[in-house]
Chain A
Amino acid sequence: MSIDTATAQRGTRRNAAVEIEDLRVQFRAGKETVYAVNGVTLSVAQGETLGIVGESGCGKSTAGFAMMRLLPEKITLISGRIIVAGNEIQGLPEAKLAGMRGRDIAMIYQDPMTSLNPVLRIGEQIVETLLAHKKMTRAAARSRASELLELVGIPDPEMRLDSYPHEISGGMRQRVMIAMAVALEPKVLIADEPTTALDVTTQAQILQVLKTLSGKTGTALVMITHDLGVVAGTTSRVAVMYAGHVIEHAMTETLFAEPRHPYTVGLMRAVPRIGSEDEELVPISGSPPDQREMPVFCPFAPRCRWRVASCWNEVPPLVAHGEHEVACFNPVLSKEAEVGVPLRDGFGVPPPSRDTKAFRSAIAFEPSGLQNTIVGG
């Protein structure tokens, strides 16, 4: 692996293929603002796989699109730095960007049903990707396209090149999209829920294809998913997102062994774990916050069993404990993580005052829980 000189000169610690620094994305729709991503800093080295996990709406896809600079420009406000293959992409002219997209950075989109062009044959859609970046004949591009379809496990690839997207199943379409994304062996590959439409066997196969690619060509892989199983099997590092914030960030093994953020613990304890199916599940009550409000306190506070008074005062910063980063004022102890509930007393502090935003959202998300804490506290 060669060290990317441009990044090295900026003094970053690793040979990052993609790096985002304090990324903030807001969507403006009329008078409303959606705070989709609120200060995310991440980097992925060549050949490394980073997982981004979190509930629906927490800003995973938005962060992915930002790295491709594919967010709808007119309605989005973006700040922070995004460096892809040594280029700061925010200021880049569209033509330069077109040269990078597909070749330096590619994305597997979340929705296989709408992400392919319905009026062009599948072969054509892969071939044009190749021809946009490589000097090669059409015939060569076509046979390469056929190889790619074979790689992602599409039977009869030669014939499938002439199909239209509506003629094949959702799972097949997802694989076509994967073939298209890996066509040019990009330096960075963002896989947004790449296996949702697939059955377990195919899922494993596809993940293997992505892993091989990453190992062989040094592609930095960003694996976006809400499935902790996918994360465990494929990633080396994980960032857990909640309401547009990265709330925990660690090596995958560390995260699974010692989750420290109450939300991460909640995620793990809310689904049965292999080998410990008889454990009692502890669901996370309530729902994610309304992202139309500017965050002023811990976004997880209304649903948190570990919250303390300071949780209502400000957004907890992401603090490094060695390699393990957690954004929490009262991180979970390892024996608490085991059972999924606090073992110490005095948590679940109610919001400071009855007429703050904090109070209203706490009421909205946890009416019964709040009742208890008011009585108890």
Chain B
Amino acid sequence: MQGSDTVQTMSKGVPRKRRTPLWLTGDLLSFVLKRVLQIIPSLMILSVLMFAFIRMVPGDPARLILGPTATAAQIEALRGQLGLDLPIWQQYLNYLANIASGDFGTSYVSNTPVAAEFFSRFPATLELSIVALILSVVVGVPLGRWSARRANTITDYSITASSVFLHSLPTFVVGLLLQLCFGVWLRWLPVDGRIGPRYRLPEVTNFATVDALLSLNLSAFGSALTHLLLPSITLACVSAGLIIRITRSSVIASRRAPHVRTARGKGLSRSRLNSRHIQLNALPPIVTVIALQIGTMLSGAAITETIFSWDGVGSWVVLSIASHDYPVVQSTILIFAVIFLLVNLVADVINAVLNPRLALE
């Protein structure tokens, strides 16, 4: 059929030959590179803003460190030592130069390197966030799908209402209510710390649950789990609410697409119709919103960890802001930003593989 090439009215150019899976082709690689390059300016802007903002909080770190009895001369001396007497742009450049050489600064308060302390605390935050994320996905996606299947019924309305409620409740309110209810009133669950005080775990991974399992200490594992429960539920609420809503709307939109009619018209089984033509097409927005929840988790961790005395990065940042510990605050927030952007990049890649059309646009 020679006349066929004249038929390509809708898309330009000759369709590409594609036998290899998308993730093995150069397309995806250049897509990833492009996204990585887009991350760098965001990080620069963020670091400048953050650097300026923490210095706007009234109060002087040198005065805080030395206490109320310090003389003006002592304070001046310490400011010089910490580099705080330099113009702000110079402080910023020094900071960048240090980071480029792998030095994230030293905490004013504990006098330990920020990087070291960050990595010793990070597993606690990660453990909490992962459990919270799993909770919010495991609850959010099925509820969203159920709501979509029963669109415009009482079930749907109740699920939607709960999702709005979950999403709009402030984290500290949820945390305090859960503490009051299950900790103080019912006394079912512990309300602070990562594990009961009588357990001493080897610090292998610094994930309390994993370390407990590694040391084959089941009762420690149980204790770690019960300690995780309230804070992770607290942290999961906001995200679960959002995931429910996005899943619902995405599934409903996908179900209405004309290609679903085509698929039904082919006589596919119900399950195949649902999995391959409705749910699969509904996934990209859901993957994106889940990835965005990593950011919600990291910021929510600051509040949740503080409420539940959880020894993670979040509670550390909160303390450090109060004590004007600039190096801690600026480096942890920067690392959080990098994590957040990388996770979003991963989500974009997953979406590009799920729906190759997106990668090319």
Contacts and interface: CB of A to CB of B under 8 A. Distances in A.
Interface of A: 65, 68, 70, 94-95, 97-103, 106-107, 109, 111, 113-120, 128-129, 132-133, 153-155, 159-160, 162-164, 166-173, 177, 180, 197-199, 201-202, 205
Query: Number of contact residues on B: which range applies?
Result: 35 or more
Given A101-B267, A119-B280, 13 more contacts: A102-B265, A106-B266, A114-B259, A118-B259, A118-B281, A132-B268, A154-B1, A164-B357, A166-B360, A167-B18, A168-B11, A169-B9, A169-B10
B264 A101 contact: yes
A159 B16 CA distance: 10
Given A170-B10, A199-B6, A159 B17 contact: yes
A117 B263 contact: yes
A285 B261 CA distance: 36
Nearest to B3: A201
B10 A171 contact: yes
Given A118-B355, A166-B357, A166-B360, A202 B4 contact: yes
Given A128-B268, A199-B3, A114 B258 contact: yes
A103 to B, nearest CB: 6
A164 B25 CA distance: 15
Nearest to A94: B270
Contacts of B355: 118-119
Contacts of B276: 117, 120, 128
Contacts of B16: 167
B8 interface: yes
Contacts of A118: 259, 281, 355, 357
Interface in B257-302: 257-259, 261-270, 272, 276-277, 280-281
B280 A197 contact: no
A296 B270 CA distance: 42
A109 B10 contact: no
B65 to A, nearest CB: 57
A119 B3 contact: no
B15 interface: yes
A106 B8 CA distance: 25
A173 B19 CA distance: 19
A98 B269 contact: yes
Contacts of A177: 262
A111 B261 CA distance: 12
Nearest to A205: B1
A265 B1 CA distance: 37
Contact of B10 (A95, A180, A197): A197
B261 A169 contact: no
Nearest to B152: A74
A103 B267 CA distance: 8
Nearest to B12: A169
Contact of A159 (B19, B257, B280, B360): B19
B116 to A, nearest CB: 45
Contact of B8 (A102, A103, A160, A169): A169
A115 B267 contact: no
A204 to B, nearest CB: 10
B354 interface: yes
A265 B187 CA distance: 86
A164 B15 CA distance: 10
Given A117-B281, A168-B15, A202 B258 contact: no
A177 B356 CA distance: 20
A117 B264 CA distance: 12
Contact of A180 (B3, B266, B360): B266
B7 interface: yes
Contact of A172 (B7, B258, B357): B7
Given A162-B18, A171-B8, A199-B7, A70 B265 contact: yes
Given A98-B267, A98-B270, A164-B357, A169 B258 contact: no
Nearest to B151: A74
Contacts of B267: 97-103, 129, 132-133
Nearest to A169: B8
B94 to A, nearest CB: 49
Contact of A202 (B3, B11, B261, B265): B3
A199 B8 CA distance: 9
Contact of A153 (B1, B11, B356, B357): B1
Contacts of B266: 101-102, 106, 128-129, 132, 180
A177 B262 CA distance: 9
Nearest to A166: B357
